[in-house]
Chain A
Amino acid sequence: DTGVSQDPRHKITKRGQNVTFRCDPISEHNRLYWYRQTLGQGPEFLTYFQNEAQLEKSRLLSDRFSAERPKGSFSTLEIQRTEQGDSAMYLCASSGLTSGGTSLFGPGTRLTVL
């Protein structure tokens, strides 16, 4: 297991389109997080899963955003009816006993909404 992976790495879409991102965490990690990072800012928390349960959502996660982790392994983040303000880096992180509780991040998916 080489770490957290995310797909795609880059996504360019037109305003109003739907997009879906995938995150594969480190296999033994039971916690999975999504963050959003805009230029010049630190990552901001979006949502958190423990196994397949979504336990917390930020108020940043509008109703156009939905995240799933159906079998407690990989996770998807979908944005419906994208807006230009959704352009950002979407980061996935995972944590578990083997990481000492610290979060390890994937490379991110860079979304550009035209």
Chain B
Amino acid sequence: QKEVEQDPGPLSVPEGAIVSLNCTYSNSAFQYFMWYRQYSRKGPELLMYTYSSGNKEDGRFTAQVDKSSKYISLFIRDSQPSDSATYLCAMSQPTGTASKLTFGTGTRLQVTL
């Protein structure tokens, strides 16, 4: 079993819809949680970064972390065709010196006109 599970999709939604992307994890030592967006054949781009449990909002994006359930979510409001990409969740432990990331497989999102 992988440490981080993520539905690979693809997920297809119409423009303007609210998108919900999710990951579950098994390692309770994870404290830092990130969402990256990756366009085809490009490097991952950091979208959201949260520490421990709670919510964080940035524009159309909201990240939620529920450590008791080992479950994280990314919500995208008013989705746009330009949001079409693969969304990767990532997490790390507070080791003090390293912050290597453990990723999910990524969810491919397609926003249609």
Contacts and interface: CB of A to CB of B under 8 A. Distances in A.
Contacts of A103: 46, 99, 101
A108 interface: yes
A102 B46 contact: yes
A101 B101 CA distance: 11
Nearest to B49: A102
Interface in B59-78: none
B38 to A, nearest CB: 9
Interface residues of A, number: 29
Contacts of B103: 42-44
Given A104-B46, A106-B43, A107-B43, A42 B106 contact: yes
A110 to B, nearest CB: 7
Dominant secondary structure at the A interface = strand
Interface string A39-51: 0111111001010
A43 B98 contact: no
Contacts of A100: 49
Nearest to A108: B43
B100 A42 contact: no
A50 B99 contact: no
Interface size class of B (residues with CB under 8 A): 20 to 34
B100 A105 contact: no
B41 A101 contact: no
A106 B36 CA distance: 13
Contacts of B46: 102-105
Contact of A108 (B4, B42, B102): B42
Nearest to A46: B100
Interface of A: 4, 6, 31, 33, 35, 40-45, 48, 50, 55-56, 89, 91, 93, 95, 100-108, 110
8 smallest beta-carbon distances between A and B, as pairs: A42-B103, A105-B43, A107-B43, A45-B100, A105-B44, A108-B43, A102-B49, A42-B105
